[in-house]
Amino acid sequence: KQEVTQIPAALSVPEGENLVLNCSFTDSAIYNLQWFRQDPGKGLTSLLLIQSSQREQTSGRLNASLDKSSGRSTLYIAASQPGDSATYLCAVIKAAGNKLTFGGGTRVLVKP
């Protein structure tokens, strides 16, 4: 059974500092890993999608890496801003699966 873990559960940084968010998964037979952002009580916004054959994806200040063999992904957010405060979730799709399996999320607070 695929299990996805995100550590730490919560993170507080001063504005301008780089953010490093971790995601680990137990079954390396995945199609994709997707990072989402969730604001309190709101929906999930897709940030980055990494296919299993890729090692990283970049979008603006965001960079996500994937090491499938070790079951890890890292989301880097450069030069954090208060508007980056949210919960970040990673999710994997198992090969020939039928659902996204989510981690518990990392709640980020960027202090001005």
Residues that bind another protein (CB under 8 A): 31-32, 34, 36, 41-46, 49, 51-53, 89, 91, 93, 96-100, 102-105
φ/ψ bin of 69: left (φ > 0), alpha (ψ from -120 to 50), beta (otherwise): alpha
CA pair distance 83, 14, nearest whole angstrom: 12
Read off φ and ψ for residue 83, nearest 5 degrees: -70, -10
Residue 78 CB, nearest approach to another protein (Å): 23
Least Å distance, CB 86 to another protein, is 14
Nearer to another protein, 12 or 45 (CB): 45
